[in-house]
Amino acid sequence: MTLTNKLTMTRTKLLILISFLFVTHWAYGQTRKVEDMIRDGVALHDKGEYQKAIETYQKVLEIAPNSSVANYEIAFSYLAAKDYKNAEKFSKKVIDLNNGNVLGAYITYGNALDMQGKTKKAMKVYESAAKDFHHYLVYYNYAICCFNAGETDKAYDLAIKAITDYPSHASSHLILSKIMERKGSRIKAMLPLYFFLLLEPNSGRSAVEYQTLRNYIDHGVTREGGKNINVMVPEDEDPDFGAAEMMVSLLKASNSLEENKGKTDLELFAENNDNIFKVMGELKKDHKGFWWDFYVSFFYRMANENLTKPFSYYISESDGDEAAKWLNDHPEEFDRFKIWMNN
């Protein structure tokens, strides 16, 4: 091989190396640019500037049309902007690409369909998602869809699955309460509502649901002529909680007894809760199943630890200053409650 040939080969190798380094550097630069733009889009979305976020993601997709992250994020922003058609379009693309963000895309896709009134189609999407992902968000959103479609029994099963998978998801307890309200079971509507308020005591929706809980307790108790108290026990489809139904109404009626005069409304609420939890805990000895093993056991343990009072004031924070003042004035009791909750 001549010196000229050797130089030619060396030059060729050098050009190949330079080309490889250039392409690698360019690709790295493009990747960084895409990542930075997506971060910008997420920040805009989080500030509620959905249209600006969408415009940012559109620029990303011009560079990387098959980016599962960009397609998912733009679908999510379209959903927040109530552009359900485009939310449907881009979330479906993420599912078809199948290289990341598929769980979130299924949920966005199902929500977009449901918000357009395509509830049956949304249910099929969640059914497909449930085959690939055993995840509480799939079960929860599927339950919402079934509830909206009037398929209450199916919604019930899915809500239980969601709570079993992730007990700390407040919304799953809330939808279960709504399901049981529709089924006509006061106690089973109350128990998940107690738990929802434990997880989310002071938000806009917790203020509404706190009043719902108080209304459940007051239901069926009326006063006539200032002295006579009428107690009507609601008919419960579940006979296991019949005794608890009677007990709730009787406890509420007893608030008017002479011995309870001078007590504040929240003091009586805390005492009633303590009695409810202890009586149901005693009833548990003869029963098994999700309601008894999850809710009743939890609140019975709380009552036996003498923590129902701080719990009751804690979930009442949205009702006014009295609850906050009590918690502030009783730091030791409140701290003991928080420690117990975190164990």
Q: Residue 342 contacts by C-beta under 8 Å, 6 or more apart in sequence?
A: none
Read off the pLDDT band of 16 (50, 70, 90).
very low
Please report the pLDDT score of residue 309 as a whole number.
97
- pTM, to two decimals: 0.83
Query: In this predicted model, what pLDDT tens digit does every residue of 152-175 receive, in sequence order?
Result: 999 999 999 999 999 999 999 999
Give me 131's structure tokens: 């085959």
Torsion, Cα of 192, 198, 199, 202 (10° steps) = 120
Which is more confidently placed, 127 or 245? 127
pLDDT at 36: 85
Q: What is the pLDDT of residue 232?
A: 56
How far is it, in rounded angstroms, from Cα 244 to Cα 284? 11
Least confident of 12-26, 49-63, 121-135, 216-230: 12-26
pLDDT of residue 235: 57
Domain ranges of the chain: 185-343
Cα within 13 Å of Cα(36), Cβ side: 6
Predicted confidence band at 241 (pLDDT cuts at 50, 70, 90)? confident
Task: Give rounded-to-5 percent helix, strand, coil for the chain.
Answer: 80, 0, 20
Q: Measured between alpha carbons, how far is 272 from 268 in angstroms, rounded to an integer?
A: 6
Over residues 180-212, the pLDDT tens digits come to 999 988 899 999 999 999 999 989 899 999 999
How many helices, marked H, and strands, marked E, lie in the chain? 18, 2
pLDDT recorded at residue 131: 94
User: 323-337, pLDDT tens digit by residue?
Assistant: 999 999 999 999 999
Contact 221, 252 (CB under 8 A): yes
For residue 215, how many C-alpha atoms fall within 13 Å in the half-sphere facing its CB?
8
Write the DSSP string, 85-140: HHHHHHHHHHHHH-SS-HHHHHHHHHHHHHHTT-HHHHHHHHHHHHHH---HHHHH
The band of 124, judged by pLDDT with boundaries at 50, 70 and 90, is very high
